[in-house]
Structure 1
């Protein structure tokens, strides 16, 4: 028997259930003044391949928090402006964002963009939290208002050198792009490798890998975006180089693997967060579920970095309770010790770097990233 119209008592029950559901939804909906975070990133341009997934990951987590009632009934509002990966627009955007009286600036992309924007907050109580910028200076005393999620390029250089040394590949060539982030990474790499006594046999443009091979290196560090790095690596392999090839985190682990396919076998890329497909971690499973619900496709390591940054910020906001202010945000972050957020450990105490985690991802012959 098929029912097309509920009985009167059935309609009453349905109405009550609908009212209850509506009441629950209203109770969960944030009603207080928003907690504003300001962000300037490359939503367009070459940097968007890394910065856009970061922004999407952060927004996914903040949306999750807001759907559950926000922070004490207050929604988290992420105001994002596009700077196309250029310093001047980033500084102009920062001025606009500061006019909105944000609690903090959040998740900027690019070392030059951070440098250009920082002058607007250096003498204020505004923090810049979790920029996607590997410049080592942001982790030092000159930038006390910057709190980062992961280590800088100097530590990435150490990880590369140690791995190459275990393979006996001590003669290193550096190939770098001409974009501002690659040049910032190059400076850190040179300073660190020289300080460690590395045998640097060549430094030159990513567009001329043949010149690097003329110096007979045993390993090559390619510093550039995924497209430029992939082109150089394909040429290195085509000319018969079979030694280890390395990439920094800004090279784009999963993006580089996609670009290279089978030509990526043996390429090692540094990352400062866990693998984005490591479902053993609760934080990764949460991201995967939220990305699927938002129809954003398979998360990559940059989306995970944004999600993690938002998760750490959310934890700080919750710890502040009702007294949310810039001064208390700094104090709360500085007091975070040995915090496990779904498998990602955070320890700001005594430092402004949340995590010292660095992992090396190996691209295999099928264009997949492995440990």
Structure 2
């Protein structure tokens, strides 16, 4: 089931959403340089160490930082409550700058240091770059921040555990709503790599069900905000809506330049754009920009996991402000902790016992959120629409 709602209630978007980006990155680099003591694979004693490769710098840095901070917030609280059978859960995070080669190198380092599992990788091209090593070492990759089908293939079902809905789920909801509003001239602005291609395919497949196709497409390179050519190409076609499958820097640049060129249509973004990052980048120009969401609103306390998130944030969040990316990191850590708890229930926690425990969670709910790891037979995938406002808030 895909969840959607009318765009009605309002909540604030985070500002910086972290205690100084430079200070945060500097602390992470210093910690990584200090080195980590390799942990035994069975994790019989000591900390349960997770390896996270994500962008902490560059065009997707804010997204990676927020996702990591949300997860760290949960694990800090978990550890304060005794961890998993008295053992702390720690995240070792390495910056990959949203570059596949750096992510592959980070993954190799994690494997060499014998981390227990991989967690919270950010992005399609980076996560895909880790797959050969994931498959060779049979090391679980939990909650990669990507909706690509490449991470949802049947042969990966015992290795890659996806918490979020797919880009196909997100774009299907977009197209259903747009067609229902009579908006059929849909263009796609997408990143020229596996991430963007996944989003384009999702839009194309959803439109095909209505005997339609994109009226135009244009691309931007990864880690680039050079959008001038794409703006000229798409605005000339006068589409009703432009679906954006890019990062927040490129999306914000495109919105500004398209509006300056006289475009008066709507902009829709998939969740990977990073809601607060996009809002921060656009400022007042965020008004009316739509973003699909794959986790509940971090501002509305009607959802159980949001109440948990805000309660823990109130205890130990310091200067961290609520935002969707941190919420997703928190939720991913929350679900993984349930898998770790079940996997350690018979005493010895291993990768095999974790995988078996996660299998038992598929199709269930954790803190009111539907868990649907497997690409087939999933009972529910959470997706809803949100709209940005010009004063830094989100309507859902």
Q: TM-score, structure 1 length as denominator?
A: 0.84
Which deviates more, 187-196 or 136-145? 187-196
**Compared CA separation, residues 257 and 279, structure 1 to 2 (3 A):** same
Distance 2:377 2:57 in 1: 29
Distance 1:161 1:313 in 2: 32
The CA deviation at 1:323 is: 2.8
**Secondary structure of the structure 1 residue equivalent to 2:68:** helix
Q: Deviations over 1:133-165 (max 9, x none)?
A: 221121122433211011211121211111111
Which deviates more, 323-332 or 353-362? 353-362
**Secondary structure of the structure 2 residue equivalent to 1:335:** helix
Distance 1:188 1:161 in 2: 10
Distance 1:326 1:196 in 2: 44
2:81 to 56, 64, 68: 68
2:170 to 146, 150, 156: 156
The CA deviation at 1:195 is: 6.2
Which deviates more, 319-328 or 234-243? 234-243
Counterpart of 2:33?
none
**Compared CA separation, residues 338 and 118, structure 1 to 2 (3 A):** closer
1:230 to 236, 240, 252: 252
- 1:335–1:348 Cα contact (<8 Å) kept: no
Counterpart of 2:277?
255
The CA deviation at 1:90 is: 0.9
Distance 1:355 1:233 in 2: 32
Q: Deviations over 1:22-56 (max 9, x none)?
A: xxxxxxxxx94211211111122222111111111
Q: TM-score, structure 2 length as denominator?
A: 0.79
Q: Which ranges of structure 2 fall in alignment gaps of 5 or more residues?
A: 1-43, 220-226
User: With CA pairs under 8 Å and 6+ residues apart, which has the higher RCO, 1 or 2?
Assistant: 2
CA-based RMSD: 2.5
The CA deviation at 1:192 is: 5.0
Distance 1:315 1:222 in 2: 34
The answer on 1:217 being equivalent to 2:235 is no
**Secondary structure of the structure 2 residue equivalent to 1:121:** helix
The answer on 1:272 being equivalent to 2:294 is yes
Distance 1:294 1:216 in 2: 45
**Secondary structure of the structure 1 residue equivalent to 2:235:** helix
- 2:190–2:244 Cα contact (<8 Å) kept: yes
